[in-house]
Amino acid sequence: MEKLLKLPNHLYPSDFDIYLFHEGTLFESYKLLGAHVLSETDFQGVRFAVWAPHAKQVSVVGNFNNWNGYQNQMERIEHSGIWILFVPELSEGANYKYEVTGPDGHKELKADPYAFYTELRPDTASVIYELNNYEWQDQKWMAQRAKTDPYQKPMMIYEVHLASWKQKKDGQFYTYQELADELVDYAVDNNFTHIELMPVMEHPFDGSWGYQITGFFSATSRYGTPEQLMYFIDRCHQKGLGVILDWVPAHFCKDIQGLGRFDGTPLYESADPLRAERPIWGTYSFDYSKPEVVSFLISNAMFWMDVYHVDGFRVDAVSSIVYLNHDNPLPVKLKNQYGGEENVEAVQFLKKLNETIFKKYPNALMMAEEATDWPLVTSPTSQGGLGFNYKWNMGWANDVLKYMKLDVNERPKHHQLLTFSFCYAFSENYVLPFSHDEIVHGKRSLVNKMPGTYWQKFANLRLLLGYLFVHPGKKLLFMGSEFGQFDEWKFKDELDWMLLDFDSHSNFFHYYKQLSRFYQETNSLWRLDHDEAGFEWIDDNSNQSVITFMRKGKRKGDYCLIVCNFSADVYHNYQIGVPSFGTYFEAFTSDTASFGGSNQVNSNPIQSSKLPYHNQPCSMKITVPPLGISIFMKQTKARLKGVNTNEI
């Protein structure tokens, strides 16, 4: 070892770490591989290490050696496939790549798979960078997170594409630091509990939105430096906001500097082109059968949690990971060794990923974007599950939006689209997502999906968001939907903020803020989100497009009654069953004039009668607004005194 590097043993990768890497269990492999600045008394410089088992030769080239592949040639650690080199007197900020000579003698310049920073596109060199200089101020958040159960808390996620949330007058992007001062306050002021960032890992093409990555460990330089991203996350935490990252372990882009054919052969991807190719995306799939790839991916997830303090991940394209043929129009159907279409190695990878994350971070958020009926996505691996703790309910979003696009006269014939989700609402721990996928590629914005007149469009949208907030499951809303962005998402341009100058949009924005505040303050709407005990049907009236149900908290008598009218008719003296005798009041409605509604409200307290109805012992008569949602609560001494019962 000393002959190879002339470094003391403690600065050299240990045999045990190398063993774990090849076993698929080195979950901090970013400490072993990549470029690391050494600043010991006798060793000032950078140690480079890269996995390239089939390469004939690897050199470090950069602006410090005129990109000369003969000057800094690496040496292979015997029987490891890892190449290593110490370059003295080299420091942070230098640009570099690996010049990899493949088995056929062809040379290619490759970015470092473990690089912590990258040149600004279109340049693609890796940048030597130290990540341990930022002084975090989120100790209170981190301590609280460690003892907070996310299941029984309100969760309203704001999904954001940083480049197009807001732009400077000249079209330039805001930096992470600038966004920390503007976006964070905006999210807090509008009652979001988490920000979900579409991928901020380095990617060459803006139009991929970050889902085709070259630098999995590199915070994209589009928006500034790693410290600026840390500052953004730190400020989120100081303001009480969690941070979720979109994470893409399904595939990677084919750009020449990336992971594809990294050592001149298929390395991170399968040697079988049918398994390696993702024709629909023009990318390569990761080969989960290689332990080194598993070490790479799990280390990447741990890296963002360890180094950047993120609170969890929305794991992209889980269906494409677990199924060999999902979104993969190949000429033949792929089969596993047992004759099925499941990707056996990928399933094991996801289980190991979740086990590893939850072992260190028990209250992390691991959210699967999974679009099929794969069972037990959010069940523990010990019970045969994939081990996530949340799954996007994409079926719910698809069905509800399909229903809402219908003319009101057509809705009774398709009522099941609205209510089918209650048949499986508690089979997984769900997030209800109105994400970017729903408002791009010609699908239109949420408000522009709605039928009817301009007034009806906004009434429908108020109803839709109201239904989102009262339906069991956590919530996610893509940026701009909170104020009724009328055009679908345009990733090259900022949101249409000027719409807030118009009454329809400003009234709707006011509605969203009041609705989200009411949601957070009403624990029966979230305390039992994943428990059947938190929901009870009262009436499913398909003929009039009205549904009535209860959401319940943990305490006896803690409930709210919800009436949703998906027709354009007003119903006066509409009778509903209630669970007990007493006085009820309308705690929230979408139809007030200040929201842009028709003001068909229940202004006065309502005394229920002891007349049984809808399988309830009592009943009452109410006004049901057109295309509206009304929420009723029973008057109690605590509510009369204004006591907040959420902590009870």
Alpha carbon separation from 580 to 215, 523, 574, 577 (Å, rounded): 59, 19, 18, 9
Catalytic residue among 369, 539, 558, 586: 369
Question: Cβ of 92: how many Cβ atoms within 10 Å?
Answer: 15
- Residue 202 and residue 146: Cα distance in Å, rounded? 29
Any catalytic annotation for residue 369? yes
Q: Active-site residue among 138, 316, 482, 586?
A: 316
Looking up tokens 């009205």, which residue turns up? 546
159 is an active site residue: no
- Cα of 209 vs its chain's centroid, Å: 13
Contact 439, 484 (CB under 8 A): no
- Alpha-carbon distance of 295 to 583, in angstroms, equals 60
* Alpha helix (H) residue ranges in 190-266: 226-238
Angle between helices 394-404 and 454-470 (to 10 degrees): 150
Which two three-digit tokens encode residue 61? Answer: 């080239």
Hey, what long-range contacts does 327-336 have (CB within 8 A, 24 or more apart)?
Answer: 327/278, 327/280, 327/281, 328/278, 328/279, 328/280, 329/279, 329/280, 330/274, 330/277, 330/279, 332/274, 334/274, 334/275
Pairwise CA distance, residues 556 & 215, whole Å: 52
Are residues 568 and 452 in contact, defined by beta-carbon separation less than 8 angstroms?
yes
Q: Residue 234: helix, strand or coil by DSSP?
A: helix
| Distance separating alpha carbons of residues 590 and 601, to the nearest angstrom | 9
CB atoms within 10 A of CB 497: 13
Residue with tokens 């047992």: 338
For residue 127, the cross-strand partners are 95
- Contacts of 525 by beta carbon, 8 Å cutoff, 6+ apart: 154, 469, 470, 519, 551, 560
* DSSP output for 375-439: TTTTS-GGGTS---SEEE-HHHHHHHHHHHTS-TTTGGGGTHHHHGGGGTTTSS-EEEEE-GGGG
Strand 43-51 vs strand 34-40: parallel, antiparallel, or unpaired? antiparallel
d(CA 629, CA 626): 9
Q: What is the CA radius of gyration of the chain?
A: 27
Determine contact, residues 259/218, Cβ cutoff 8 Å. Answer: no
Reading phi first (left if > 0) and then psi (alpha if -120 to 50, else beta), residue 274 is in: alpha
Give 243's contacts (C-beta < 8 A, 6+ positions apart): 194, 195, 196, 197, 233, 236, 237, 309, 310, 311
Between CA 430 and CA 426 the distance in angstroms is: 8
Cα→Cα distances 152→429, 466, 536, Å: 11, 20, 18
Residues labelled catalytic: 316, 369
